[in-house]
Amino acid sequence: MSDQTPILQVSFDKAPLREAGYTDTAVLRYKKTVSDFSEELFRRSTRLGEASKAPNFPREITQHHVQSSATELAAPITARPKPKWFIPAHILEYVCLAIAGIGGGHLDKQQGILAFGIGLTVGVLLIVARLTIVERRN
């Protein structure tokens, strides 16, 4: 966050952390992280409440605003990075399907039939593989 005075003061019992084996620096880092998260959650929830309020009415922050903000904050933590081959495979899908399209325009020739068949087969297999892997990762 920033070096400004905290918006909210977060306090908690350090005993469970000590019992779990946290060092002095780990307890300080834990407290700072919780405090920073709390401040950012406060800011985002307030912004959402402000954005959804009706004109000429006071701002009202609901549990929906808080939950949406918490989910948004947690998204980078829970999101898994895509594999390095993901983008080249996606590009190759388009190339294969373009080849299939060109081949489909020349089905009266043997090269057209081969381009259509191979391009379509490889393109569809790449799409299925990518979508299956994405589904498994989520």
For 3-21, what is each residue's pLDDT tens digit?
455 567 778 888 999 999 9
- Provide the CATH topology of domain 15-78: Histone, subunit A (1.10.20)
Top mean pLDDT of 23-37, 38-52, 100-114 is at 100-114
- With bands split at pLDDT 50, 70 and 90, how would you rate the model's confidence at 54? confident
- By the 10 Å C-beta count (0-12 exposed, 13-18 middle, 19+ buried), 58 is classed as exposed
For 80-97, what is each residue's pLDDT tens digit?
777 788 889 899 999 999
Q: Where are the domains of the chain?
A: 15-78, 86-137
Q: What is the pTM of this model?
A: 0.51
Provide the terminal-to-terminal Cα distance of the chain, rounded to the nearest Å: 29
